[in-house]
Structure 1
Amino acid sequence: VIALPTQEVDMIIAPIGVTMAREQVLDFTFAFFYDDSAVILKKPDPDESKWRTYIDIFRIEASTCALTLKSFVRESKAVCLSLLLLSTPGGQNLPYSGSGRIFISAWWLFCLVVAGTFGGNLIAVLTVSKDKPPFNTLAEMASQSDYTFGTLGNSMWTTLFETSPRPEFQAISRKMEGFYAADPTVYSYDPNVHLKRVKQGGYAYIADNGMFTNWLAYNCDLMILKEKFFPAKYAIGLPNNSAYTKLFSEQVVKVYESGLLQVWVKKWWPSRSFCAGSLVTEARTLNLKDVQSAFYLLGVGVIFAGTLLISEVTVPVMRSLIPASLLDIKVVPETIRKAISREDLSKKKNDSRLKSWM
């Protein structure tokens, strides 16, 4: 772009985007290509997050809301009681007031809906393969800290993020400046440098969607975010007030009207390869990694149960080892003296009953 105003070159025939800043120093022909901007990154390894399978079924706000509501209501003995609450006048586990029965029945219906939703989503997550990106929008990308991201240096995307009033664009610009201070390759002029970093993982690249479609034809481990932004148009660049701008524009229009552009696209544009599992959604066989969350939950329960068992066995033994003469010493805690006193009293009662029986 800089070489054209200085007359180092006569024209630019390349995928150069048309922007307001460039139109002040260049002339552009009729646009020959339109494309959206997008973000490409490597597919995350699904095995890295499978330990959170049971946690990630609901978003954090939904799980927090359900747990908060649960803390206000005591559990009943059976879920089927919810169907009888409106007709039963009360009982051991049922409130006697009509308002209480309505509230508890509504609570149990809520529990049934949540449990059914959780179970259905859990089945889908465990049995159906689906590529889930670490973030879905530019705003989420700007707020996360696991991935770095970059774009072509001194391009229309750097100008967009620097000058746009949108908060997420401003946040992306600030973060890329911080990334650039530590690693200048985030503003590399070579797309292959960005592609190499994307393949290594932990990096997202911002550019035009058409180039990414070309990359996906040869790389099944890459993915594009669904959110598209900044529709751009590409044209031939000429010096300002060039006499050839109209001539080249007329030829571009003829190419469009004749359908040659679509013919060239079909002939030369690489077709996207069909990766394994990309044609249809299929159920798959579960392995231990898929259900490892259940084993983690079991392990936590075993640890807590074992700790409680040790305390239940150890505390009575420790109490029995304390001499009775120490009960009157003030250094012995009051709770231990009371516990030992109760045990001695129960022993005396049992001895008296045994003697009376004999």
Structure 2
Amino acid sequence: MKHHSTRGIMKGLVLCLLAKLPLIQISSSLSHDKQLMFLQTFCHHQLCSSIILYDITDWCNISLKEFQFVKFISQLYLKILVTSTQAWTSCQPLPDSAGKTPLLVLPYRASTQHHEFLKQCSQEGQFNGRILWLFLTSDSLSSHLFQNLAQLNIRLDSNIFIAVYGKEANIQLLETYALGTLGQNTSLQHHIISEWNPGNLVPPSTHKYDRHRHGNLQGYQLRATTVLINEFYTQIQKSGDHFQVTGGYFGEVFKTLANALNFTYTIIYLPGYSYGNTPTDNTSMWTGMIGAIQKQEADLSICEVSITADRLEVIDFTLPLHTAATQLYVHEGTKEPSMDWYFHPFNVWTWFALIVGLLLFTSINNLLHYITYNLHGSTQRSGFLSNLFTTVTIMLQQGTDSPSSFSMRLVQHSSALLFLVVHIAYSAKLTSLATLYKPQPPLGDLSDILKSSSWKFGVMNSSLPFNTFKNAEPGSIFGKLWHLKLEPFPGHLMNSYTSGLSATLAGSHFAFLGLEDSCQNTLQHSFTPAQACKILALPHKYFRGGLSFALQKNSPYKEVINHSILKMKSIGLIQRLKLKWVPQPQQCNKMLYVVMEWTDILLPVRGFIAIVLTSLFILIAELMLYKYRTVMGHQKKNHVQTQSVDKLYKHNIKPTRNLFALYK
């Protein structure tokens, strides 16, 4: 293989090469300067970094002065590679050897050698959007070139230009691309971009891969596949023998793309959670929706697909439309019974002031009772404990007997007013604490599930977490969760988000890992607000990544779809659709359903029972003491009477019948 490379600083080599190398022979009426200007302007507009010239050794009827070619090279600043299709039968190494965006120039002569060369380039995928082709041909050979190109793997994103020159020394520049892929009802499109004539030294701009021209698929039918798991993402409805997209965030974006790019579609619906499972070995194909796109049974997806590294090996994705993550959902922590709960409304100094006030009012009340007892000669006097009980009764808003003394009545009324304010403040603060109460999460993250044998763990069957846990290393946290918490318990592989969250709500030791948007949507539509707020989403998020449409590997539609998505984002359409369809996280307003639970009154009930039992024991002790005193009183009385009788006998006084009767 023989090739020559020229640069601006290598003038001697350039002149030797130029003696055999006229760059473009368009017509005998075109000057050599304008031939050079044609190539220079075209490459400048296409932003190519190098030129590869094929089969130009027979262009030997041009001779240029040295200063003309040096001037051309100084304006071009490009790397030029000269070769032939006979010597270089493969296109594969050319882009790397001639720069990242080479311009491949081929004067087409309808020879068998050119036909085989283009066929080889097509098999190597050299007509993709990265490489720029320029075919030079005459009017008589243009139809043969079009027939040859129709048999090649031309794509929608191909950058193929054809310069057709005629007898009038005009150059007609055409652009060629294909709708569809080779072997699937391919339709080759030809569009005239401009015409150049000898008097036009500055031709119009021809941007590489014009999305405005390629973005019209002219009603071409694409094959779209989808699942129906999250209706807020995608909604479809069967109409006769076909499915139609009716709504959802991704569904409406897809319909907008279909209108903007002017394509039609057929829907391949896959029932169940058929996103696709990771193959178990390197030779296996994916299943489900990803497998259908991998096997080229579908061109793209309608629903959302998570972008992962293993999926990128077999399919492509558009620009992300949404960022999703999974969260761990558990039952909220239960309230632990504690007497501290009832001391939280007031701080220590407030409680101290309240006790001092209670004792102060009791002392004042006791003093007034003492004065009243001495001045008015009352028959009964209330002691300190009785006055303390009266003050406590007033503090608890239970009321008491109204005393006859105005001074005592004034003290009790003022204490009642003060304790009323304290009672209201305490009740309000206790209620607010109950409303704002946030129990501590029973778990911190996934590793805490492994630390306790009582905790159960569940995920969606065939979901992204399912495949991640299943294929994880056995020694990792994901691998341990699979072998200890998931694989032995098939019932923990849920078929719906409702079943997973219901299991979380039913059991205080069941954790469910699910997609945040799906769980939010389920909590808002399948559970009451009170039930939804009993399910706690832990703050740590897992498997955070983008959601987008899935495409075939190296899909020709990727660039036009991405361009349309960027336009939709720039006008705010994507954000409006997201706010319309994607469920937003809702804060639990506990003020709407704060209820008194058994744990809230458990300690007071325990205290009441303890006081009642203590009172019973005291009552029994009092009864026993009363019985003891009664018996002892009778015994003492009998003892005194017996001593009196003994004294009478000692004085020789015979007891009479009446005395005996009295003794009796």
The answer to whether 1:205 aligns with 2:494 is no
Which residue of structure 1 lines up, in the alignment, with residue 338 of structure 2?
53
Counterpart among 322, 328, 339 of residue 33 in structure 1: 322
Alignment-mate amino acid for residue 477 of structure 2: A
1:289 corresponds, among 592, 599, 618, to 599
Residues 300-333 of structure 1: per-residue CA shift (max 9 Å, x gap): 9999xxxxxxxxxxxxxxxxxxxxxxxxxxxxxx
- Residue 241 of structure 1 aligns with an amino acid whose one-letter code is N
Q: How does 1:270-285 map to 2 (within 5 A)?
A: 270=583, 275-277=588-590
Matched, 1:130 2:437: yes
* Alignment deviations for residues 92-148 of structure 1 (CA, whole Å, 9 cap, x no partner): xxxxxxxxxxxxxxxxxxxxxxxxxxxxxxx89974543423223333234234432
- Structure 1 residue 288: Cα displacement: 6.3
Alpha-carbon separation, structure 1, partners of 2:512 and 2:480: 16
Paired residues of 1:216 and 1:273 also in contact (CA < 8 A):
no
**After superposition, where does 1:276-355 map in structure 2 within 5 Å?**
276-277=589-590, 289-293=599-603
Greater mean deviation of Cα atoms: 254-263 or 143-152: 143-152
How far does residue 241 in structure 1 lie from its aligned partner after superposition? 1.8
Q: Is the 8 A contact 2:497 2:518 kept in 1?
A: no
Distance 1:8 1:192 in 2: 32
Give runs of aligned pairs for residues 48-87 of structure 1, distance below 5 A.
49-50=335-336, 52-53=337-338
Report the CA distance between 1:172 and its aligned residue. 4.5
Closer/same/farther in 2, CA of residues 287 and 204 from structure 1, 3 Å limit = closer
For the residue of structure 1 that corresponds to 2:477, the secondary structure is helix
Query: CA offset at residue 261 of structure 1?
Result: 1.6
- Per-residue Cα deviation, 1:31-70 (whole angstroms, up to 9, x for no partner): 11112321223445x4xx54x43699xxxxxxxxxxxxxx
What corresponds to 1:244 in structure 2?
A: 557
The sequence identity of aligned pairs, in percent, is: 19
Report the 3-state secondary structure (helix = DSSP H, G, I; strand = E; otherwise coil) of the residue aligned with 1:243.
coil
- Residue 16 of structure 1 aligns to which amino acid in structure 2? V
Answering whether residue 263 of structure 2 is matched by residue 263 of structure 1, we say no
Aligned residues: 235
The whole-number CA distance in structure 2 between the counterparts of 1:175 and 1:124 is 41
User: Aligned Cα RMSD in Å?
Assistant: 4.3
Aligned-partner residue type, residue 204 of structure 1: A
More helix by share: 1
Residue by residue over 1:285-306, the C-alpha shift from the partner in whole angstroms, topping out at 9 and shown as x without a partner, is 9776325246668989999xxx
Aligned to 1:180: 486
Match of 1:227, SS? strand
Q: SS at the partner of 1:136?
A: coil
Residue equivalent to 1:307: none
1:224 matched to 2:537? The reply is yes
Task: Give the match for residue 152 of structure 1.
Answer: 460
What SS does the aligned partner of 1:8 have? coil
Matched, 1:194 2:500: yes
Q: Cα offset for 1:186? A: 2.7
| Residue type at the aligned position of 1:53 | S
Amino acid at match of 1:26: I
**1:217 touches 1:272 (CA, 8 Å); kept in 2?**
no
> Which residue of structure 1 lines up, in the alignment, with residue 293 of structure 2?
4
Contact 2:457 2:486 in 1 (8 A): no
C-alpha distance 191-301 of structure 1, shift in aligned 2 (>3 A)? same
Q: Distance in 2 between matches of 1:296 and 1:215?
A: 40
- Which structure has the larger Rg? 2
Deviation at 1:244, TM superposition (A): 1.4
Bigger relative contact order (CA 8 A; separation at least 6): 1
- Judged with a 3 Å threshold, the aligned counterparts in structure 2 of structure 1 residues 13 and 295 are, in CA distance, closer, same or farther, namely same
- Tell me, in whole angstroms, the C-alpha distance in 2 between the residues paired with 1:245 and 1:285: 55
**TM-score, structure 1 length as denominator?**
0.52
Structure 2 unmatched runs, 5+: 1-289, 342-429, 614-664
User: Alignment partner for residue 310 of structure 2, among 9, 14, 21?
Assistant: 21
Q: Separation in 2 of the partners of 1:242 and 1:287?
A: 59
Structure 1 residue 214 and structure 2 residue 503: aligned? no
Runs of 5+ in structure 1 lacking a partner?
57-122, 304-358
Q: What SS is found at the alignment partner of 1:3?
A: helix
1:292 alignment partner, SS class: helix
Give the direction of change, closer, same or farther, for the CA distance of 1:293–1:2 in structure 2 (3 Å limit): farther
